Structure 1
Amino acid sequence: MKSLKTTILSLAVLAGVTGALVTNAAESTVGQDPTVYNWTKPGSPNFQGTVSAAQSNYNCSGAGSVCATGTRVSGTGPLNATIRFN
């Protein structure tokens, strides 16, 4: 009987610690808003969105010459961003 109580207590402690860690991990990513930029590309309409959305919109996600530049509108990323041609 003592072994059963020890096992149950151990599982309860493990569940509590695991729950605390999972809660901290979830809270660290949930409250963060993505960084949104106003994007400009010569000859194309302006676009507002994240870096990955702009890469998709302008079809450029490589390391070549400058494709479009962005100025931060919201979020905590850099003030300016650049995406490049493929």
Structure 2
Amino acid sequence: MRWPRITVPVGARIIAAVMAAAIFAVAGWHAGHKAAPPLSGVPVGIMTPVRSSDPLAAGLARCEALGLRADGDAGCAAIWAESRRRFLGDAKGH
């Protein structure tokens, strides 16, 4: 069995070729373009957090530093509960 031949108009072929050339031109320009320098000289992962007088913020930072071990930490559970209460408000609507 032979497949039917699909004919594509010449105008569509020209448009496709122009679009492909434009895509390659933009990709080439982007590859050769220098990236903007970072906003600060310190990489984001090394930056120290801003000190806060809020003990909840300090507790949240401690729990974040614990990573997966914070899951079983009762102190972190209490801090997360207080954080949820502050964010969502009391269940009574206060």
TM more than 0.5: no
**TM-score of the superposition, structure 1-length normalised?**
0.36
- TM-score calculated relative to the size of structure 2: 0.33
Which structure has more strand as a fraction of its residues?
1
| Larger helix proportion of the pair | 2
Higher alpha-carbon Rg: 2
